[in-house]
């Protein structure tokens, strides 16, 4: 009798990460994101890597995934204001957040990519 597979096709798996001497130093899980690209998460144990993979897939299902490589601070803030803030705060609070973003943050660091954003950028504000 054949053994049944534990995961579906395309669910990804967990592999050990080894150093030059061959000692296992952690585990790496792979999965396919909503955009069809292969993504990776790491953990110290197999269970931790699998848990991070499950969390990443759950976040992707809820629409919380964004590509930090090409996303700028300005694009992120406009999405954040529209998706997360608009319906959760008073209209005056939303207007103030939008004003601070438009007048102070975007002119200074709006063109910086999220991936390249450093604490020095934030301190400079």
Rg, Å, the chain Cα set:
20
Q: Domain ranges for the chain, please list them.
A: 14-61, 73-124
pLDDT tens string, the chain, 125 residues long: the values are 566 556 665 566 788 999 999 999 999 998 887 777 888 889 999 999 999 888 888 877 776 655 666 889 999 899 889 888 888 899 999 999 999 999 999 999 999 998 888 999 989 88
Alpha helices in 11-83 (DSSP H): 46-61, 73-80
Q: How much is the pLDDT for 57?
A: 82
Residue 7 pLDDT: 61
* Confidence (pTM): 0.51
Distance in angstroms (rounded) separating the CA atoms of residues 114 and 105: 13
């Amino acid at each position: 009798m054949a053994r049944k597979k534990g995961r579906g096709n395309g669910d990804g798996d967990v592999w050990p990460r080894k150093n030059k001497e061959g000692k296992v130093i952690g585990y790496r899980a792979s999965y396919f994101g909503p955009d069809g690209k292969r993504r990776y998460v790491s953990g110290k144990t197999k269970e931790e890597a699998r848990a991070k993979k499950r969390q990443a897939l759950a976040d992707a299902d809820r629409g919380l995934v964004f590509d930090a490589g090409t996303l700028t601070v300005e694009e992120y803030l406009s999405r954040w204001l529209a998706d997360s803030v608009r319906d959760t705060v008073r209209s005056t609070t939303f207007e103030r957040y939008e004003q601070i973003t438009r007048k102070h943050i975007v002119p200074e660091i709006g063109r910086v990519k999220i991936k390249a954003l450093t604490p020095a950028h934030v301190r400079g504000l």
